[in-house]
């Protein structure tokens, strides 16, 4: 077992795909010898195949049932079943997501081994320890903490300001936070502004903050400046294919 905890951004476009090639939420997490596909937003599966062999994926985690976080599981099902002829890949998702997505494929058959995740649950996937926390977002949505070798990654998934990464305990090495909006243009309270992302990560004692899920038409430089001011130091902006050692 090696001590690597590595995050690769497969897609980070907020709510809908943005040109050029802006896939929606998807991340590859490597923890030791374990490979996890965390959220399968539209476009992320194509990007995943540039960074990993599909047969090396140990599990999939879907944080919630909004399409920009889950629809590419359809492609994995097709490849797994008809290309690789494999079955029973563990997929972790909140209640109802498996049934919701099954209409895409007719029937899952035994392609995936579905596991239900809820607020406060924890599980081990190979070398990774995971915990989940229900966020402030309309469908059941699970922020996800992944730990390996004393390193800790917290992914907020989608959330409004009524949830904080601090619920997993302070001082995460990296908080990967949604920052859909900017503070002078807060549209609906089910997402964060960049300033709110910075404030919440700062209050949670995060060592590093990466912004993701930006609304595609907004100026990302303005989001970075806004979040950096609130966080108290420079934040990182997610981009497809960015690889970070947590
Ligand atoms: Zn989203
Ligand atoms: Zn959402």
pLDDT per position as a tens digit, 102-147? 998 999 999 999 999 999 999 999 999 999 999 999 999 999 999 9
Near ion ligand 1, which residues have CB within 5 Å?
68, 158
202, two tokens: 């700062």
Alpha-carbon distance 58 to 54, whole Å? 9
- 208-238 b/e with 16+ CB inside 10 Å = b? bbbbbbbbeebebeebbbbbbebbeeebbbb
Distances (CA, A) of 143 to 6, 78, 102, 199: 18, 27, 23, 17
Mean pLDDT to the nearest integer, 18-24: 89
| Residue 1 predicted with pLDDT over 70 | no
* Cβ 120 vs Cβ 42: under 8 Å: no
Tell me the CA–centroid distance for residue 147 and ligand 2, in Å: 24
Quote the percentage of the chain above a pLDDT of 70. 100
Question: Among residues 85, 34, 74, which one has the least CA distance to residue 58?
Answer: 34
| Residue 201 predicted with pLDDT over 80 | yes
Tell me the CA–centroid distance for residue 61 and ligand 2, in Å: 15
| Residue 19 predicted with pLDDT over 90 | no
Tell me the CA–centroid distance for residue 84 and ligand 2, in Å: 31
| Residue 156 predicted with pLDDT over 70 | yes
Task: State the ligand closest to the CA atom of 137.
Answer: 2
Mean pLDDT to the nearest integer, 12-30: 94
Alpha-carbon distance 182 to 110, whole Å? 43
Q: Which residue has the higher pLDDT, 187 or 192?
A: 192
Tell me the CA–centroid distance for residue 94 and ligand 1, in Å: 15
| Residue 2 predicted with pLDDT over 90 | no
Tell me the CA–centroid distance for residue 18 and ligand 1, in Å: 13
Mean pLDDT to the nearest integer, 29-39: 98
Mean pLDDT to the nearest integer, 29-41: 98
Q: Which residue has the tokens 């599980």?
A: 123
Indicate the pLDDT class of residue 210, thresholds 50, 70 and 90. Answer: very high
Quote the percentage of the chain above a pLDDT of 90. 95
| Residue 65 predicted with pLDDT over 90 | yes
Mean pLDDT to the nearest integer, 33-39: 98
Mean pLDDT to the nearest integer, 19-45: 96
Q: What is the mean pLDDT of the chain?
A: 97
| Residue 187 predicted with pLDDT over 90 | no
* Cβ 71 vs Cβ 41: under 8 Å: yes
pLDDT value for 149: 95
The number of C-alpha atoms within 13 Å of 212 and in the hemisphere containing its C-beta is: 33
């Amino acid at each position: 077992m090696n001590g690597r905890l590595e995050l690769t951004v497969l897609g980070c476009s907020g709510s809908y795909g943005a040109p050029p090639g802006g896939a929606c939420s998807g991340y590859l997490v490597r923890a030791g010898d374990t490979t996890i596909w965390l959220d399968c937003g539209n476009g992320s599966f194509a990007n995943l195949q540039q960074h990993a062999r599909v047969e090396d994926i140990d599990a999939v985690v879907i944080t919630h049932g909004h399409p920009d976080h889950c629809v590419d599981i359809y492609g994995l099902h097709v490849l797994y079943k008809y290309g690789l002829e494999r079955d029973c890949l563990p997929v972790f998702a909140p209640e109802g997501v498996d049934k919701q997505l099954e209409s895409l494929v007719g029937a899952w058959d035994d392609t995936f081994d579905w596991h239900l995740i809820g607020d406060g649950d924890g599980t081990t996937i190979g070398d990774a320890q995971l915990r989940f926390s229900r966020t402030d977002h309309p469908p059941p949505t699970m922020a996800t903490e992944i730990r390996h070798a004393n390193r800790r990654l917290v992914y907020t998934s989608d959330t409004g300001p009524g949830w904080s990464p601090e619920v997993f305990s302070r001082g995460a090495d990296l908080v990967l936070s949604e920052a859909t909006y900017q503070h002078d243009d807060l549209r609906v309270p089910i997402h964060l502004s960049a300033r709110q992302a910075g404030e919440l990560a700062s209050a949670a004692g995060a060592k590093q903050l990466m912004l993701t899920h930006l609304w595609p038409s907004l100026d990302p430089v303005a989001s970075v400046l806004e979040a950096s001011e609130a966080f108290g130091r420079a934040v990182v902006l997610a981009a497809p294919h960015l690889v970070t050692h947590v």
